[in-house]
Structure 1
Amino acid sequence: MATDSLGDLTRAGRVAEKLRNLIQAGELTPGTLLRQTEVAKRFGVSTTPVREAFALLTREGVVQQDAHRSVVVFQPAAEDLAELYEIRLALEPLAAELAARTITDEQVDELEALVTEMETAPPDRYIELNGLLHDSIYGIANRPRLFDILTRLRIASVSYAKLTVTRDGQEDPAYRRAVQQQHEEIVAALKARDGEACARVVRTHLQTTADQITALIHTGSSSR
């Protein structure tokens, strides 16, 4: 049984990689419906690893599930982005303020190390570290329901975050400098146990990101 499970996981990883490559190459365009049975037939596997591959790619933000649980290649929409960030703007400052009350020196050190690594990280790694930073702050807030809501919202935002990086790995240096500085200010406020200041910087940070991505969607300047 364990061997079969491991095999399914390995096959799921291969299916996910093949789908990811097809999407990045533009062979599967935004909004394309992905059917389990068709993908399974195409790659010569059962539907189980395909389902697991869909789950993996959903977490990465490469595909998304619609209201009917159909899986489609991620397609940016300004209305969806606005809703995501409207909710995040309401809840993340609260998490930051709560985290400032309970954060330990060891946790501050861990966040500072993350932000330091982010300074020179390549774009895709930066997005990964950004998620880890935000999730860490949610966790420090020690509110399990809030953590669950915010992590799901952040995962749903990953595809949008990746719009800030072009297919050839380029990004807006001014935007990168701005968000890096904001991350540093967030951690500094946490270190000072200043919840009000931390919440304020988090609001600014989220609005900066939302504005940048909204502009990319409207202008169509992103090649992803």
Structure 2
Amino acid sequence: MSYAVPPTRTAAVVRQLRNEIVTGELPPGTLIKDAELASRLGVSITPIREAIAQLSVEGLIDIAPNRTRHVTQVTQKNALELIDVMSVLACAGFEWGVDNLTDTHLDLMRRRQKEFTEALRLGNVLAAGAAGADFSSIVILASGNRELQSMVDLVVARTMRILAMTAESGLWNVWIQGHDEIIALLEGGDTRAALARYRQIYVDYRDRVERELFEDQ
């Protein structure tokens, strides 16, 4: 994930709609209407339809057999399954990349962690999510496997959207504390312990999501 300016109108619409879905501005079940979106975003129908197709691939929009489109509904099952998939992909990338980290990588990880916590302090959930994802991406990309990173990126937006956490959510603390401890372990040269701590983040995160976000299911 990055802060780069999208190169096309379609990419800009994808980013805008993805952000609205992730933050809950477009809640689950919302009916998606091409003309309304085109008017609101000031673009033609074509980039809207292309963006909807992309977001359907990402699992953020459901397209029914009758061609009506809705923001994907949230259930405990798909939330926990996404976390499980994210865990498998991200932990594999972390394991493959952790031994290749340099001082430059560590400096970047410290910077992203600072951006992560600062964005939360300012209430900017999207920036926090991007910085938090970049923290892991630094290690995954150090593995040299860009295909894996592409797969992780695909799941990140879906996971964030399903959780739709506010800046005040205590769930962020699982990542903040975990990242801080991982940096300390890497600074001490203990890559195996850093990997184990990274895996534990997902165990703790899944448990808290199940207990705190889906108590009535």
TM-score, normalised with respect to structure 1: 0.70
What is the aligned residue count?
A: 204
Residues in 1 aligned to 2:172 and 2:115: alpha-carbon distance in whole angstroms: 14
Give yes or no for the alignment of 1:128 onto 2:130.
yes
Q: Are positions 1:64 and 2:66 aligned together?
A: no
Question: 1:141 corresponds to which residue?
Answer: 143
Match of residue 161 from structure 2: 159
Q: Which residue of 2 aligns with 1:112?
A: 110
Cα 1:171–1:29 shift into 2, 3 Å: closer
**What SS does structure 1 have at the residue aligned with 2:214?**
helix
What are the equivalent positions in structure 2 for 1:10-159 lying under 5 Å apart?
13=13, 16=16, 20=20, 29-36=27-34, 39-40=37-38, 45-51=43-49, 53-54=51-52, 63-65=60-62, 71-122=69-120, 123=123, 124=125, 125-159=127-161
Q: What is the TM-score with the length of structure 2 in the denominator? A: 0.72
Amino acid at match of 2:9: L
CA RMSD of aligned residues (A): 4.0
Query: Deviation of residue 74 (structure 1)?
Result: 4.1
Does the 8 Å CA contact 1:57/1:63 hold for their aligned counterparts?
A: yes
Shift of the 58–133 alpha-carbon distance from structure 1 to 2, 3 Å rule, reads farther
Classify 1:29/1:145 alpha carbon distance in 2 versus 1 (closer, same or farther; 3 Å): closer
Once residues 130 and 179 of structure 2 are traced to their aligned partners in structure 1, the CA distance between those partners, rounded to angstroms, is 14
Q: Structure 1 regions of 5+ residues with no counterpart? A: 1-5
Identity of aligned residues (%): 22
Q: Distance in 2 between matches of 1:57 and 1:177?
A: 29
- Structure 2: gaps of 5 or more residues: 1-5
Q: Is the 8 A contact 2:34 2:49 kept in 1?
A: yes
The CA deviation string for residues 125-170 of structure 1, in whole angstroms up to 9 with x for no partner, is 3222112212222212211232222222223212134x331xxx53
Query: Would you tell me which structure has more helix in proportion to its own residues?
Result: 1
